[in-house]
Structure 1
Amino acid sequence: MKTVIKPAKSTSWSMRFADFKEITKVRLAVSVVFSSLAGYLLGADEISFVSLLLLAFGGYCMVGASNAYNQIIEKDLDALMKRTMNRPIPSGRMSVNQGMTIAVVLTVLGVVSLYFLNPKTAMFGAISIFLYTSVYTPLKTMTPLSVFVGAFPGAIPFMLGWVAASNEFGIEPGTLFMIQFFWQFPHFWALAWMLDDDYKKGGFKMLPTGKKDKGTALQIIMYTIWMMVISVVPVLGITGRLQLSIPAAVIIFIMGGVMLFFAFRLYEKRDNVSARKLMLASVTYITFMQVVYVLDKYIPALF
C-alpha cells in the first residue's frame, strides 16, 4: 500500500506547486526580481546580501500577489481564452478562496519584507499591487489605454531596486523608471499582436488602435525610439549618480536598434511571426541592457 500512496502524495504536492507557480506567474516574477536586483546594484554604495535577499523575496511576493489577484478577478474571462483556460482557478484545480489566501499572504509577506529595507520601497511595492489589480485589470476590457496605466506598475521594479538601496527617490530612479516604462509598449503590444484573437474572446482591448494594422505598428516604432533615447540619457551626465560610459551607451543603443529593426519589420509585414521576433528581441533587450548598466558600473574596464 505504501508504494502506491507515496507517489500519489508526491504527485499531489508537485501539482500544487505547479499551480502556485502558475498563479504567481513564476517566469514573469523572476524577470521582475532580476530588474529589481539590477536597480539595487546600480543604487548601492555597498552591497548587502541580506538586502538583496529581502528585495528578491519581497519582489517575488509582490508580483505573485498581483498576478494572483488578477487571475481571481479575471477567472470567468480566462475560461474563455485558450491560453488561460487551464489556469488553476478557471480549470477548477484551485478555488477562489485558496487563490485569495495566496494573494493576501504574499501581499503581507511582500510589504513586510520590503519595509525592512525601507518604508519607501514598501510604499512603491504596495502602489504597484494597487495599480495593477484595481486600475489596470478592470480597464483591460474597457479601453486600450489600460496598457498605458499598466505600464506604471510594470515600470516600478527597476526603480524599486535603486530606492531599496538608497532610500531616496530622485532623478536616478526616475530615469530607470522611464526606461522600463517606454520599453513595455513595444514589448506588450508585440505580445498582444500575437494573442489578439484570444484576447478578443475574453473581451480584452489591448492594441492601441484595436487592430493589427499600420497604426498599431507605427506606435510600436515610436515608443521603441523613445526607449532607445531614454536608455542612453545617463551618458550625458545629467542623471545624478546614474552614469553610463560612451562605449556602454553605444552597445545599448545598438541593442535598441535591433528592436527597432524588428518593429519596422512588423510595420512592413504585419504578421504574427514578425510580432514574435519583436517580442523576443524586447525580452533580450531589457535583460542585457540592465546587465550592461551593472557591468559598466562595477567593471568599467570592460567598456
Structure 2
Amino acid sequence: MSTTVTPTIKHTALSDFKEITKMRLSLSVVFSSVAGYFLGADTISLKIVLLLALGGYFMVGASNAFNQIIEKDLDALMHRTKNRPVASGRMTVNTAFLIACVFTILGIGILYSINAQTAMFGAISIFLYTSVYTPLKTKTPLSVFVGAIPGAIPFMLGWVAATDNFGIEPGTLFALQFFWQFPHFWAIGWFLFEDYKRGGFFMLPTGKQDKGTAVQIILYTVWTILVSIVPVFGVTGQLKLSIVAAIIVLSLGLVMLYYAIQLYKKMTEKAAKQLMLSSVLYITLIQIVYVIDKFIR
C-alpha cells in the first residue's frame, strides 16, 4: 500500500517578512532607483546610493504591507496569494500594520535625508499605491493607469536624488517606465485572469482576454519603445543616448514587441507569460544600457 505525501511549505518569521514586503519586487525597485541615480549624478556618492537603496526598499515594503492588509480577504480567495502572511492568518493585521508604518516612517525619513523632493515623490508613491490604486483594483480596469504612476516613480526618483531637481530628464525616465507598466501588467493580468477573477479584480483594459486587450498591449509597447529612444535626439536635456545605445535599446524593444504581437496572434496564457518575461528582461537591460552608455560615451 502506497501513501501519498503532500508537500508542505515551511513558513518562518523571515519568510513571512520577505512576503509581506515583497522582497524581490522591492529589490527590483531599488535597482531602478540606483540606475536613475547613476544617470543623474555627476559624481557617484556611495552614501547617497546606500540611502536611496534603503529608502526605496522601505518605501515599496510599506506599500506592499498596506496592500496586503487591505486585500487580505480577497487574497485568501486566490491561489496565487492565499498563503500570504496576513491572508493565511499567520501574521496579524496589527503586526502587518506596525511593519507598514515603521517602513513608511523609515522610508520617507531616509529619502528626506537625501533631499526633500525625493522624500515627496516617495510619499506620493506610497499614497497612490495604497489609497487609490489598491481600492480601485476591484472597481475598474483604470486602476492599472493609477498603479502605473507609483510604479514609474523609482527610475526617475534616482535622478531627483542625484540632482534635487525635477525636469525633462526624470520626466522622460518616468514616461519610459510608465508606458512599460501596461504591457507588463496586462500580460500578468492575462495569464492570471481566472485567479484574479476569483478575487474580483479587473486588470485587463476590456475586462476580457480578447483582441481589444491584445491591441492595447501592442500600442503601449510601441509607445514604450518610442519613449525609450527619444534621448538620442538630444531633446531631453542632460539625459542623452548614443546612436549605438539607441540601436540596442530599439532592438530590445522590438523583441518585446514581437512577443506582444505573438500574444495577439495566439491569445494564450503561455504567450502572455512569454511577454511578461520579455518585459522584465527589457526594463532591466534598458536601464543597464542607459547607465553604461553614459559612462563610456
| Common topology (TM > 0.5) | yes
Partner of 2:240: 243
What aligned pairs does 1:102-113 form with structure 2 within 5 A after superposition?
Answer: 102-113=99-110
- SS at structure 2 position matched to 1:89: helix
1:287 matches 2:284: yes
Partner of 1:254: 251
Instruction: State how far apart, in whole Å, the 1-side matches of 2:144 and 2:57 are.
Output: 22
Partner of 1:224: 221
1:55 matches 2:52: yes
Partner of 2:272: 275
Partner of 1:37: 34
**Cα offset for 1:299?**
1.9
RMSD: 0.8
1:171 matches 2:159: no
The amino acid that maps onto 1:139 is L
Alignment match of 2:208 (pick from 192, 211, 233)? 211
The amino acid that maps onto 2:55 is G
Q: What's the TM-score once normalised by structure 2's chain length?
A: 0.96
What aligned pairs does 1:1-303 form with structure 2 within 5 A after superposition?
Answer: 15-300=12-297
User: Gapped runs of 5+ residues in structure 1?
Assistant: 1-11
Instruction: State how far apart, in whole Å, the 2-side matches of 1:242 and 1:49 are.
Output: 21
CA deviation map 1:183-219 (0-9, x unaligned) = 0000000011010100000000000000001000000
Instruction: State how far apart, in whole Å, the 2-side matches of 1:186 and 1:271 are.
Output: 15
- SS at structure 1 position matched to 2:88: coil
**Cα offset for 1:32?**
0.5
Question: Structure 1 vs Structure 2: percent identity of aligned residues?
Answer: 68
**Cα offset for 1:138?**
0.2
User: Gapped runs of 5+ residues in structure 2?
Assistant: 1-9
Instruction: State how far apart, in whole Å, the 1-side matches of 2:164 and 2:220 are.
Output: 30
Runs of 4+ in 1 over 4 A off after TM superposition: none
CA deviation map 1:54-106 (0-9, x unaligned) = 00000000000000000000000000000100000011110000000000000
- SS at structure 1 position matched to 2:83: coil
The amino acid that maps onto 1:147 is V
Instruction: State how far apart, in whole Å, the 2-side matches of 1:34 and 1:219 are.
Output: 28
- SS at structure 2 position matched to 1:83: coil
Q: What's the TM-score once normalised by structure 1's chain length?
A: 0.94
Instruction: State how far apart, in whole Å, the 1-side matches of 2:75 and 2:83 are.
Output: 8
Instruction: State how far apart, in whole Å, the 2-side matches of 1:230 and 1:89 are.
Output: 39
Instruction: State how far apart, in whole Å, the 2-side matches of 1:132 and 1:75 are.
Output: 16
Partner of 1:5: none
CA deviation map 1:221-266 (0-9, x unaligned) = 0000000000000000000000000000000000000000000000
**Cα offset for 1:44?**
0.1
**Cα offset for 1:139?**
0.2
Instruction: State how far apart, in whole Å, the 1-side matches of 2:28 and 2:46 are.
Output: 19
Instruction: State how far apart, in whole Å, the 1-side matches of 2:136 and 2:96 are.
Output: 22
The amino acid that maps onto 1:66 is S
Aligned length: 288
